[in-house]
Amino acid sequence: MLDVQKIRDDFPILGREVNGHPLVYMDNAATTQKPRQVIQALVDYYENFNANVHRGVHTLSMEATDMYEDARKKVAKFINASDSDTVIWTRNASESLNLVAYSWARENVKSGNNIVLTPMEHHSNLVPWQELAREKNASIRYIPLDDEGVLDLSTIGSIIDDQTILVSIVHMSNALGTINPVKELCDLTHTKGAKFLVDGAQSVPHMVVDVQEIDCDFMAFSGHKMMGPTGIG
């Protein structure tokens, strides 16, 4: 049987009381609380290994660099990336999405192209594309939702077309919990010669995500939504 109290004991903040009652935290889709193992790992790093990575040849810098790159390998294995070199550190999923928008997309989106999104996107997967579309004289298209909050793919063939440059879609909605068929949409996107981006901020913490199986070109997610520290994406 699941020992709920034992799990709670791993999270120091859950020892707090709020309004005279034990803290019940229900906002994990926004950010997760940190278990003492994560907190202790941070303490251990700052007490024993703190140094600039890839910036020195002294012992601390080399040890910190090894830890930094080992973490990259672990993330690659976690999402089944083909190579750890495909994992790029950012501060969060929002910055990751903006990085794609203002690097790859800014260089490749042309006048007359379209970018395909959905109405269930987080603002960080809406605003960068809206701004870029204005800048490049491109257009934004949306895959509609049905009454159940599920993507209506009945007209998808006319939405993703030969002028589509990018399809950027949330894997699991932070508001609805809907899990979108990203593999199916990725395959269709690639038949049109376009790139496919997955916002995995909610899916990666809660389900097995295999980037090679999906075959996406980009995926963004955050460590702080899966009990890691703030500032890791």
Please, are residues 180 and 50 in contact by the beta-carbon 8 Å criterion? no
- Could you tell me how many residues make up the chain? 233
Closest C-alpha among 122, 81, 131, 80 to residue 102? 131
The position carrying tokens 């109405």 is 119
Map out the domains of the chain with their CATH numbers.
Answer: 4-77 (no CATH), 88-226 (3.40.640.10)
Q: Please give the model's pTM, rounded to 2 decimal places.
A: 0.94
Signed CA dihedral, 222, 227, 228, 229: sign only: positive
164's enclosing H/E stretch is strand 164-170
Q: pLDDT truncated to tens, each residue of the chain (233 aa)?
A: 889 899 999 999 999 999 999 999 999 999 999 999 999 999 999 999 999 999 999 999 999 999 999 999 999 999 999 999 999 999 999 999 999 999 999 999 999 999 999 999 999 999 999 999 999 999 999 999 999 999 999 999 999 999 999 999 999 999 999 999 999 999 999 999 999 999 999 999 999 999 999 999 999 999 999 999 999 99
Q: Which two tokens stand for residue 219?
A: 């995926």
Please, are residues 216 and 190 in contact by the beta-carbon 8 Å criterion? no
pLDDT tens digits, 174-224: 999 999 999 999 999 999 999 999 999 999 999 999 999 999 999 999 999
Residue 196: C-alpha distances to residues 93, 115, 215 (Å): 16, 10, 8
Q: Which two tokens stand for residue 27?
A: 């906002």
Residue 123: Cβ-neighbour burial (10 angstroms; 0-12, 13-18, 19+): exposed
First to last CA, the chain: 34
Please, are residues 170 and 92 in contact by the beta-carbon 8 Å criterion? no
Question: Which pLDDT value is given to residue 2?
Answer: 87
Query: Cα 163 to chain center, whole Å?
Result: 26
139's enclosing H/E stretch is strand 139-142
